[in-house]
Amino acid sequence: MTAVLEQIAALVPPGSRVLDLGCGTGELLAYLQQHRGCTGYGVEIDDANLLACVQRGVNAIQLNLEEGLSIFEDQSFDVVLQLETLQHLRNTELMLRETARVGRIGIVSFPNFAHWPNRLQVLMGRMPVTRVLPYQWYDTPNIRVGTYADFEVLAQKNRLRILDSFGIQNGQPVRRLPNLRAGMAVFKFERG
């Protein structure tokens, strides 16, 4: 498991009931089940990723997140993970509110567009291409870009109380000046 996923797994209380939105191959959910005694489901749209989840022993549901989470009741999970999915969604704000509705705690991560190498590339007149944002502007699956500071404003607007936040750079947490010094932003929050 990557250092980024280990940092995020540490935010999940042991024994939690977890919903992992955009769970990919189920790597994190499998880790949480095996090492932190968690239960839950992954949500994924890709057929190959769903098969990988099943092969890992992870319960996964095929669902397009753009359609919302109406199949889940309020507060039906202890933790809802939304890792590197917000930037792929058209209705980011709705999905953030849905995350807070369905889970007692939400954890999101996304590429931090304000990381200093990105700023430098924009200053040079080009869209950034980095390890965290590895695509050219014309072939990126990201339909949104955001910054650490932008999420703080969005959370306040949606009455979400941030419990913990930090950046991640080279697998290490960045708590001092994360908007400038980290390529990935991580937030743990609850409804305010």
Residues 152-165 have a mean pLDDT of 96
Residues 67-75 have a mean pLDDT of 93
Token duo for residue 3: 């250092």
Where residue 140 falls among pLDDT bands split at 50, 70, 90? Answer: confident
Among the ranges given (25-29, 106-110, 119-123), the one the predictor scored with the smallest mean pLDDT: 119-123
Q: Is the pLDDT reported for residue 142 higher than 80?
A: no
Query: What is the predicted pLDDT for the residue at 136?
Result: 84
Residues 73-89 have a mean pLDDT of 94
Query: What is the predicted pLDDT for the residue at 69?
Result: 92
Mean pLDDT of the chain: 93
Query: What is the predicted pLDDT for the residue at 1?
Result: 67
d(CA 165, CA 175): 8
- The residues, ordered by sequence, that sit 6+ positions from 52 with a Cβ below 8 Å of its Cβ are 24, 25, 26
Q: Which residue, 68, 72, 169, is CA-closest to 112?
A: 169
Q: Is the pLDDT reported for residue 139 higher than 90?
A: no
